[in-house]
Amino acid sequence: MDKIKPLVNKVLQQESKTRWSRQRVPEIKADRKRNEAGHTDPDDDFQDLMSDEPLNRICESILHSSDVEQLGPGIGQLLIDQARATITMKRAVGKVREKFTADLIQAEVDIRLHHPLLSLVKPWMDKQLHDIKVRSICLNWCKTN
């Protein structure tokens, strides 16, 4: 790992000097509008595409770097695969967290509408929200197992 860090930093510095000019923005926006009907949140897809463009350039540079390839065959591809897996995981966790937060807010609103007086009692409201969190976590666990 200590051998690869300076090489990756070198590639990143070279890419940062070229500075990706957002030449593909109109093309990406057009694709987004065409695909808007089939997606739940086109803005998220657009942001992902915008952040993927510089990542793709960096990946290409790492893949074609002779310095990285000298460390061993396939090391560049391994680094790229690891980076993409990490980014995908972080995006998925972020989307789940956003959905969970939105669902919790909606549940709180529903409780306040259905139980206007009880919802003013903080311990009761805290217990209701805690129960909803636990149920949500259990349901998600059951769905995945």
Band (pLDDT 50/70/90 cuts) for residue 102 is very high
CB proximity list for 39: less than 8 A, separation 6 or greater? 45
pLDDT band at 11 (very low <50, low <70, confident <90, very high): confident
pTM: 0.63
Q: How many domains, in total, are found in the chain?
A: 2
Shared-domain flag, residues 66 and 97: no
Q: How many CB atoms lie within 10 A of CB 126?
A: 10
Q: How confident is the model at residue 17 (pLDDT cuts 50, 70, 90)?
A: low
Do residues 58 and 2 both lie within one domain? yes
Residue 84 lies inside a defined structural domain of this protein:
no
Residue pair 65/7 in contact (Cβ under 8 Å)? The answer is: yes
Same domain, 3 and 60: yes
Domain-located, residue 66:
yes
Residue 141 inside a domain? The answer is: yes
